[in-house]
């Protein structure tokens, strides 16, 4: 069965370190998304991609970057981790008509 996986599932890091969260999907979807989920804010879009070499900023993109070198992967990099980036991060992908399939999430703690 097709799926979307994220790694690591849990991460503790220190302020100022660079962190990369992996997202891998086997749906063969062109569209991939990164969200963060915080209490009281629901899901907020960080970055998204409509295909290889395409990346776009979402509503909360400051301090984050993505790159898309193949269809399956969209890694999310925190350039210099800040305590405000402590959150749960979800990756999602979609094909036609925008139905999104979500990964299990990565819980990130920045100390």
Where do contacts with other proteins occur on this chain (CB under 8 A)?
A: 30-31, 33, 35, 40-45, 48, 50, 58, 90, 92, 94-105
Cα–Cα distances in angstroms (integers) from residue 46 to residues 1, 2, 36, 40, 87, in the given order:
27, 24, 7, 17, 12
Residue 108 Cβ, how far from other proteins at the closest point, in Å? 15
Residue 96 Cβ, how far from other proteins at the closest point, in Å? 6
Residue 100 Cβ, how far from other proteins at the closest point, in Å? 6
State which residue, 15 or 51, has the beta carbon closest to other proteins: 51
State residue 32 phi and psi, 5-degree precision: -135, 150
State which residue, 38 or 62, has the beta carbon closest to other proteins: 38
């Amino acid at each position: 069965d097709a799926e979307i996986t994220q790694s690591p599932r849990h991460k503790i890091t220190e302020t100022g370190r660079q962190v990369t969260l992996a997202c891998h999907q086997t749906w063969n979807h062109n569209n991939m998304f990164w969200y963060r989920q915080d209490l009281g804010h629901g899901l907020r879009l960080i970055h998204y991609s409509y295909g290889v070499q395409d990346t776009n900023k979402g509503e909360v993109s400051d301090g984050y970057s993505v790159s898309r070198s193949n269809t399956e992967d969209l890694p999310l990099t925190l350039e210099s981790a800040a305590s405000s980036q402590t959150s749960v991060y979800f990756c999602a992908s979609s094909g036609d008509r925008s139905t999104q399939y979500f990964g299990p999430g990565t819980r990130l703690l920045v100390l």
